[in-house]
Amino acid sequence: MFLLSVIGGIHIGDVIVQLISLLLLIALVIGIISLIVIFNKRNKRLNKLEEKLDKVMTDKEMKK
């Protein structure tokens, strides 16, 4: 069987499990970093929008 094959005392199934675990760990780290970057960009956009809205409101109040 493929999973029971042995190369130099290392089971292929063990190697596959270790690789999958490593890939999941890397994916988790990349996912967390991506979420942080997305939230930071979102906050910057919201702040810019809020500044524009404040400017429009103050301009409107001055015209009255």
pLDDT band, very low/low/confident/very high, at 61 (cuts 50, 70, 90): confident
How far is Cα 35 from Cα 38, in angstroms, rounded to an integer? 5
How far is Cα 63 from Cα 54, in angstroms, rounded to an integer? 14
Looking at the predicted structure, is the pLDDT value of residue 1 above 70?
Answer: no
How far is Cα 46 from Cα 35, in angstroms, rounded to an integer? 16
How far is Cα 45 from Cα 34, in angstroms, rounded to an integer? 17
Q: What secondary structure letter does DSSP report for 2?
A: -
Looking at the predicted structure, is the pLDDT value of residue 53 above 70?
Answer: yes
pLDDT band, very low/low/confident/very high, at 62 (cuts 50, 70, 90): confident
For residue 6, what are the contacts with CB-CB under 8 A and spacing of at least 6?
12
